[in-house]
Amino acid sequence: MSSADAIRITFLGTGTSQGVPVIACPCEVCHSTDSRDKRLRSSLLIRSRTTTVVIDSGPDFRQQMLREEVLHLDAILFTHEHKDHIAGMDDIRAYNFIQKKPMDIWAEPRVQHALRREFAYVFAEYKYPGIPQVNLHTIVEGEPFRVGDIPFLPLRVMHYRLPITGFRFGDFAYITDAKTLPPATMERLRGTRILILNALRKKHHLTHLTLEEALEIIEKIRPEQAWLTHISHLMGFHRDVEKELPPHVHLAYDGLTLTR
């Protein structure tokens, strides 16, 4: 890929629904002074030469946009409807004002229904002045779409019984909140150079991949690099877990930027 076609990603957040530190938690990880142990809710910033996209706008969306100085945003892609992935959508109002147009929102029909419910005022017939403005676009599993000059391929994964949308784009693939990856998705991930995959903790969890389970999937896909995200305080200290991983696998952390 030439420098003109390069895609740059930044981890806006790498934490779970509670973030790290967790409110009122006395554990050592939550009181760590290592900045890599401070995790906002999981979200990804994707930038090409002409296009800027965010995957998921959780409760920390405003803080993340300010931290990364995102002055223009073309679209938000939603993986699913849980609050830690959609709660910050109201803050697109700033981009509406600056860019003088609605924000393009990409989501499956079920997720669009949840957005209409959670942000009913955005979709009301009579709209209050200054509310967010959106253009909804429908994601269909397995059907590619483009935002500006970035092509996306939606990938189905399962969050226990809840369908989740992952994405493959350029040399990257991004999957969060998965517990299982269907065979068709495993096949579509073949050849991915940089795989981003959730890994909640080391102990079993009903709806999220554990560290061991994530490593098993990485071994089957064999990307050049793998970065783990959606990490709980129960995973342990960043510095300690990093030492346990294969050379091509790493824990992501907030603010980390990769270019390919």
Model confidence pLDDT, tens digit, residues 152-182: 999 999 999 999 999 999 999 999 999 999 9
pLDDT for res 5: 77
Residue 119 DSSP code: T
Higher pLDDT, 209 or 141: 209
Query: Do strands 162-169 and 134-138 pair parallel, antiparallel, or not at all (unpaired)?
Result: unpaired
pLDDT for res 4: 56
54 and 85 Cβ atoms separated by less than 8 Å: no
pLDDT for res 189: 97
**Is the preceding peptide bond at 151 cis, omega within 30 degrees of 0?**
no
Within a 10 A sphere around the Cβ of 256, how many other Cβ atoms? 16
What's the mean pLDDT in 220-249? 98
Q: Output the domain CATH number for residue 114.
A: 3.60.15.10
User: pLDDT confidence of 140, banded at 50, 70, 90?
Assistant: very high
Confidence check: pLDDT of 258 > 80: yes
Measured in degrees and rounded to the nearest 5, phi and psi for residue 168 equal -110, 130
Confidence check: pLDDT of 71 > 70: yes
pLDDT for res 148: 98
What total number of domains does the chain contain?
A: 1
Model confidence pLDDT, tens digit, residues 186-207: 999 999 999 999 999 999 999 9
Q: From CA 129, how far away is CA 131, in angstroms rounded?
A: 6
Range(s) of the domain holding residue 46: 3-259
Cα-based torsion angle of the residue sequence 252, 253, 259, 260 in order, rounded to the nearest 10 degrees: 10
H and E: helices and strands count for the chain: 7, 14
Model confidence pLDDT, tens digit, residues 2-34: 455 799 999 999 999 999 999 999 999 999 999
Within a 10 A sphere around the Cβ of 121, how many other Cβ atoms? 11
